Amino acid sequence: MKAAMFEDGAEVMGYLGWGLIDILSSQGDMRKRYGVVYVNRENHDLKDLKRVPKKSYVWLKQVIHTNGRDM
């Protein structure tokens, strides 16, 4: 998104994330991970379901904290 805004000159008015934590895709599996928080599970193994913030979590937190000024 940053490249689109600053390198390509795209006017970005907002951002809508699919989900904050990894969720099942529309196909019902965990191979694609959409959230900013990793959930430790696989399609057929729930494992311990531990949540781990991803790099995108840190970025989104900073964007929210600065109201978009620090991207």
Q: What is the pLDDT of residues 1-56, one digit of tens each?
A: 778 888 998 888 887 877 899 887 778 888 888 899 999 999 889 999 999 999 99
The residues with which 42 forms a beta bridge, in sequence order, are: 45
What per-residue confidence (pLDDT) applies to 2? 77
Strand residue runs (E) in 3-65: 37-39, 51-53
Contacts 24+ apart (CB under 8 A), 8-15: 15/63
What per-residue confidence (pLDDT) applies to 17? 78
What per-residue confidence (pLDDT) applies to 41? 92
What per-residue confidence (pLDDT) applies to 37? 96
45 residue type, one letter: D
Examine the pLDDT at 66 and tell me if it is beyond 90. yes
Can you give the pTM of this predicted structure?
A: 0.72
